[in-house]
Amino acid sequence: MKIHVYAALKDHFEPEFELQDAGHNTDELKARLQGINADATELLKICRFAVEDGFIDNEFKLSDHDTVIIIPPSSGG
């Protein structure tokens, strides 16, 4: 699975990377990422997730072919 992260998440992960056994839903993916870098735990809890420019929730079944975008809280303006 390809992972793209933005903003403050880039302090914890590479902007783009590939992950094996990343999980089948967003909760599993979050747990996997927290396992890689526990410092990102609190931030990951408040992030949104998207696949192909559409937001997803935990019911969405992730596949190894997906590119998952992890979106921290917005701070535009």
Task: List, in order, residues 6 or more apart from 19 with CB less than 8 Å away.
Answer: 1, 2, 3, 32, 33
Surface-to-core class of residue 44, CB atoms within 10 Å of its CB (0-12 exposed, 13-18 middle, 19+ buried): buried
**Least Å from the CB of residue 13 to other proteins:** 14
Task: Identify the residue among 56, 62, 64, 65 touching other proteins (CB under 8 A).
Answer: 56
**Least Å from the CB of residue 38 to other proteins:** 19
Query: Can residue 19 be called a binding residue for other proteins (CB under 8 A)?
Result: no
* Contacts with other proteins, residue ranges (CB under 8 A): 6-8, 11, 48, 50-57, 59-61, 69, 71-77
